[in-house]
């Protein structure tokens, strides 16, 4: 197994190189040379395995240059009961007949990003050792709220690394901001930008692909890598929980081996649902991948028309981690669906950069329509769904998960499809206490941590200790910069 670039057919690197580098020098994303298979026998055998054992099996298929001992080192150190408050790591809860909530937020920062970002530091440091690199690895992150904190927590005080996170000043929840700006660690940095997530993401990509900046880091014994989902080391761990969930449903007798399932994912950057696509094409029986968007519904429109057009109003919503108009991981999917046509990929994403719009070929459109369904909802509908789910089932979900539930219910009503369905639940409701309480008709004129207490009284859900401890933590990072100043800010933080 080796890794190719979506924009240059001549690129061929190991998984260690792909993870250490983060993004190809041509600006493309690394993709595996093939999608490995998982057999029905393996899926059945996984039913009696722990999450860690399942992870090792899947990783071994993608990281073929890693030894068994190296994979075990990464997995065993990442997926611990000390880091995750559920023995299952990724916990399945049956919400209603045929509908299962895949709770991916039982990690240290209470968001699904922990599933990948607890293991990425181990994958990255193992990769650099395998490449005999003694350079300091500088992790740059653009975040819409959850990735930033999960990356900071994963990389804090990891030897040989430094991490700097950029987030939109007015584009994250109060709890997400508090999580990031109080981050502990001697190798961490956090900075707000005067712009939205797309501005932060574009700025980070520009820094990554600048030859001048790369030379300056090289001269100072440093190299960039990424903790965003443009890094294959972020995407690979996400595939595991879909494979694992299918195996668990079979083991629990909820489905028969070979039965198809649907997967519903609230998504902005397309990484989480792309992981479901990879799981499907490994051999997990999946009927439909259902993409759920908020009012920033650029993905919904694309998956229904084949036209990607970011030239639209940007909405700041109560599901801020999905407030994105440029979905980076879509490039990986289009590379696959175009039969690895790097010329087409360069043309499409060149048009996106220049005109903010592109249209894929009829062949690619048909493949999209066969694989995916899509829908969206606004904040009012998100809130009504939170209340509906609470009133019917006594279950409290966050604002992103509610988007997925609403889109799924709409899909089921319009299609009559009663295929058993996994709904990716991507964050703890405590990260968005004010919006959740407002949806439930409660007064929200209180401080953030008073709202947490109110939600606890209402739901009975234990308050994650990592969030409760934030109350008295001192804010360390207060900088806000213009988006054009990101490179200079990186230089100043690194002292070069």
Positive or negative: CA dihedral 297, 300, 301, 307: positive
Which two tokens mark 251? 């083991």
Q: What is the DSSP letter of 464?
A: P
**Following CA atoms 154, 263, 53, 250 in sequence, which dihedral angle do they give, to the nearest 10 degrees?**
150
Cα–Cα distance for residue pair 409/401, rounded to 1 Å: 12
CB 405 within 8 A of CB 389: yes
The phi, psi pair for 458, rounded to 5°, reads -75, -45
Rg of the chain over all Cα atoms, to the nearest angstrom: 21
CB 206 within 8 A of CB 193: no
**CA angle (452 as vertex; 450, 455 as ends), nearest 5:** 110
- For 440, the 3-state DSSP assignment is coil
Residue ranges in 209-269 assigned as alpha helix (H): 211-219, 232-251
Task: Count CB-CB contacts under 10 A for residue 169.
Answer: 15
- For 387, the 3-state DSSP assignment is helix
CB 222 within 8 A of CB 490: no
Q: Is 431 a catalytic residue?
A: no
Instruction: Give me the catalytic one of 4, 56, 113, 149.
Output: 113
Q: Residue written as tokens 């997400």?
A: 176
> What are the angstrom distances between the C-alpha of 33 and each of 56, 65, 447?
20, 13, 50
Task: Count CB-CB contacts under 10 A for residue 84.
Answer: 21
Helix (H) or strand (E) holding 3, with range, is strand 3-5
Which two tokens mark 186? 């001697």
As annotated, the active-site residues are 113
């Amino acid at each position: 197994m080796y890794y190719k670039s979506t924009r240059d057919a001549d690129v061929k690197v190991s998984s260690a190189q792909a993870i250490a580098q983060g993004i190809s020098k041509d600006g493309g994303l690394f993709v595996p040379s093939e999608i490995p298979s998982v057999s029905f026998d393996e899926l059945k055998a996984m039913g009696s395995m722990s999450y860690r054992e399942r992870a090792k099996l899947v990783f071994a298929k993608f990281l073929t240059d890693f030894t068994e001992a190296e994979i075990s080192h990464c997995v065993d150190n990442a997926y611990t009961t000390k880091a995750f408050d559920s023995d299952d790591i990724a916990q399945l809860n049956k919400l209603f007949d045929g509908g299962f909530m895949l709770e991916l937020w039982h990690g240290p920062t209470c968001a699904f990003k922990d599933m990948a970002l607890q293991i990425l530091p181990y994958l990255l440091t193992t990769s650099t050792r395998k490449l005999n690199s003694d350079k300091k690895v500088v992790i740059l992150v653009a975040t819409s709220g959850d990735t930033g904190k999960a990356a900071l927590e994963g990389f804090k005080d990891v030897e040989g690394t430094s991490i700097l996170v950029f987030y939109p000043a007015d584009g994250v929840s109060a709890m997400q901001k508090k999580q990031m700006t109080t981050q502990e660690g001697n190798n961490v940095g956090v900075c707000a930008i005067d712009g939205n997530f797309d501005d932060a993401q574009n700025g980070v990509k520009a820094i990554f692909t600048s030859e001048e900046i790369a030379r300056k880091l090289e001269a100072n014994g440093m190299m960039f890598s990424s903790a965003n989902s443009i890094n294959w080391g972020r995407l690979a761990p996400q595939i595991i929980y879909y494979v694992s969930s299918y195996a668990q449903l079979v083991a629990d007798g909820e489905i028969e081996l070979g039965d198809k399932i649907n997967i519903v994912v609230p998504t902005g950057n397309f990484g989480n649902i792309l992981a479901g696509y990879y799981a499907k094409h490994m051999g997990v029986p999946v009927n439909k991948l259902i993409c759920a968007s908020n009012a920033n519904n650029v993905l919904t429109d694309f998956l229904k028309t084949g036209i990607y057009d970011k030239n639209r109003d940007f909405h700041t919503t109560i599901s801020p981690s999905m407030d994105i108009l440029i979905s980076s991981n879509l490039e990986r999917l289009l590379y696959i669906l175009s039969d690895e046509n790097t010329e087409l990929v360069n043309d499409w994403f060149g048009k996106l950069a220049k005109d903010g719009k592109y249209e894929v070929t009829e062949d690619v459109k048909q493949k999209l329509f066969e694989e995916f369904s899509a829908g969206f909802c606004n904040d009012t509908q998100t809130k009504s769904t939170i209340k509906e789910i609470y009133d019917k089932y006594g279950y409290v979900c966050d604002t992103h998960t509610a988007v997925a539930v609403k889109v799924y219910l709409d899909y089921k009503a319009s299609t009559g499809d009663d295929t058993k369905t996994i709904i990716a639940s991507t964050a703890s409701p405590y990260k968005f206490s004010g919006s959740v309480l407002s949806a439930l008709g409660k007064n929200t004129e209180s401080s953030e941590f008073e709202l947490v207490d109110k939600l606890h009284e209402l739901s009975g859900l234990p308050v994650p200790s990592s969030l409760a401890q934030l109350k008295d933590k001192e804010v360390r990072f207060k900088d806000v910069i213009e988006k054009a100043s990101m490179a200079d800010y990186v230089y100043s933080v690194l002292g070069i």
